[in-house]
Structure 1
């Protein structure tokens, strides 16, 4: 048994980080040195799962009464 992941063993481009999806911003990876596309991430999560409040901030700014 090996300690490498399947993609590492096969020599595929991939990232071990999670891609965090924001509703109004570009996705961001949890790995600082990530260079692969969104499709090359195995783990995709919604930003609200990380405690991000960008969706709340955006919804408040669109519901302002002027």
Structure 2
């Protein structure tokens, strides 16, 4: 199986972009990613959705419930 973006030569990242509440800081799960532009990432999550939770998330915030789409 090949990535259609790779095959077409489109600039993209296979990692997940993790964004923080202030919107000014993001990081990618791919250590080789050098461009944190949202357009390059097919997967984007808020930092409170990762486990363990990000340090910038208040402890009182309940963990999100993830459900499979039906």
| Larger Rg over CA atoms | 1
Structure 1 unaligned regions, length at least 5: 58-66
Structure 1 residue runs of 4+, over 3 Å off? Answer: none
Output the TM-score relative to the length of structure 2: 0.68
Q: How many residues align?
A: 55
Output the TM-score relative to the length of structure 1: 0.71
Structure 2 unaligned regions, length at least 5: 60-70
Cα RMSD, aligned residues only: 1.6
Q: Which has the higher helix share?
A: 1
Q: Which has the higher contact order (CA 8 A, sep 6+)?
A: 1
